[in-house]
Structures are given as structure tokens and as C-alpha cells.
Amino acid sequence: MALVGCAGLDTRLPEISAPDLAAETQMQETTALRQIEDKSERLLRVGWPILTANVELCPKSRPAIGVKMHSLKSYPKRLRSSAGRVLGADDTQRVLHITKGSPADVSGLQRGDIILDDDGQTAELDSEAWSEFLRDNTLNIRRGTETLSVAIDPVSVCDYALKLSSSGAINAYADGRNITMTTAMMDFVESDEELALIIGHELGHNTMGHIRKIVGNFIFSFGGTRYTRPFESEADYVGLYYLKRAGYSTQGVEDFWRRLAKVSPKSINRAKSHPTFPDRYLRIQASRDEIEAKQSEGKPLLPNFKNGASPSGT
């Protein structure tokens, strides 16, 4: 009876052909993958100077060459069948992006190169593996049918991976090991400086040990979220230093918070786990004044750590 009673349509929908549906699906998948490709390249390009310029302020560092690797596993499952066709992805990790001026760029690495281990097999690369493969400043790679040895001089970077998450939420977050940016956030920022502001903020969470502190405060306060707000302000503060030290302009970056207020007006007056947008806007202005004063006086561009605290916040 329940099945018989199910409601139906009151109109006749136009018919669409299977070939047309397949063609439109392929077009939309291609567009989505090209956008992911562009955003991941931009994230690496903007983030690389921040991770290299602030090594002395990061508790963890590693050697790096300025590349973004990819394989089919790098993409959402629903897009993997198209990722091979559009981006050349397969089950093997390959070079996707190379940052201009990086060691990989100087050494002539190319998109599609496969990095090999000492046995000539495809290297499984994570942050720890890079240290092993770069220990003698030489990389063995496979390019097409050729196997090559490439001399390369890695640089030290803050040991936090830059990751892109396909999400419609305007958000970014740190977990103590990574800095993750959503695709919606990448669309929302209007300049590389604004993107650098967000990357610097998330780097601040990692370098200052905020994840551990927030979890501890949440437990000991029996779920009180107000104890997380000071860490957000501190991440804004040290993040602006990271931005400036990487060579980005700090002028006008606080306007990000005025624009975000238009799409999330509740946070203008409401402060739960994060400070209000007006608070963040004004504190960034004040932090910029502090940075510019130090710069004009020839002082080191270092945050004002209190009580002799180390850059790692420990």
C-alpha cells in the first residue's frame, strides 16, 4: 500500500539522450579537475615562500625541492576515472607542479617525472621519505622510457604539508602536521596576499602548538570553547609576521574579514570558538603597524614572544 501510494510527477519532463548526458558529464568532470589542478598549483606557489622564509620559527623542518606529487589517490573517488584522461594521473606518484625558482625548477625536473628509490622502483614519498631521497643531493627519476640522475640542492622548509580539500565551505584548518585549504576558500580569497594571510594563520596554529593546547583546554574546561579564541588571535598575529617575512605585502589584507562578514554576518557580533570579525580586522591592522615600525627601525621581524618563549610556543 505504501508503494502504491507514493507520489508521482504532474508534468512530462523532456527527454535527454544518453550520449548527451555522457558528454555533459565528461565536460563538467574536466572543468572540475582543471580547477583542482589550478588551485593546487596556486596553493603551492603562494605557500612555498611562507614555508621557506619562516624555517627558524618552525619547530619542525625538512628538506624540500618545491614540487607537488599526484596519483589517482590524490583525487576524489568519483573523479579518478577522469583524472587519468585529464591530468595524466595513474597509480604511480608523479610530479604535477613545480614551483618557479625552487630547487626542482633549477634542476630541470618536469611534470610527469617519477622519482625512484635506490632499487630503481617508484618511491613512496611522504615527508619523512623526502629526507632519505635527498640525502646526497641527487634524485633518480624516470622520464618516459629514460632513467636519469638529477643533481638537486634541497632547501629547508617548515614541515607542514599544504593540502587542498574539495569542499564548498569557506574554511581552512591546521592539525599540527598539515595546512588544509578548501576549494571554496581558494575561490573566496581575492589575491595571493589574502591566501598568504590564511596560510600564515594556519601555520601559526601549528608552530605555536595550538592544537595540543586547544584540546587540553577543551578537556579541562569541560567543553568551554571560549578558551580557543586567544589562540585564533595569536595565529592571526604570528601569521602576519610569516606573511611579511615571506615577502608579501600586508597592506589591506584585513579586508578579508570585512568581505567574510557579508557571507557570515553572525560572526560580526558573535564570538564562540573564534574572535569576532571586527576584532580580527582591527588586531591585524595593529599587528601590521607593529611590523612596519620594526621594519623602519631595522629590527628583526620576529613576533613579540613573552617570558622567553621559543618560536614553537613551548
Per-residue confidence at 174, pLDDT binned at 50, 70, 90?
Answer: very high
- The 10 Å CB-count burial string (b at 16+, else e) for 195-212 is bbbbbbbbbbbbbbbbbe
The mean pLDDT of 243-272, rounded to a whole number, is: 85
- For residue 274, the number of C-alpha atoms closer than 13 Å in the C-beta half-sphere is 16
Is 98:120 a contact under the CB 8 Å cutoff? no
Average pLDDT, the chain: 88
Residue 136: the pLDDT is: 80
Tell me the pLDDT tens digit for each residue of 201-210.
999 999 998 8
Query: C-alpha cell of 9?
Result: 510527477
Q: Is the pLDDT of residue 70 over 80?
A: yes
Domain borders along the chain are 34-157, 160-296
Q: What is the pTM of this model?
A: 0.88
Tell me the pLDDT tens digit for each residue of 109-120.
999 999 998 788
The architecture of the domain spanning 34-157 is: Roll (2.30)
Query: C-alpha cell of 250?
Result: 600586508
The single-letter code of the amino acid at 219 is I
Q: Shortest CA distance to 47 belongs to which of 179, 153, 206?
A: 179
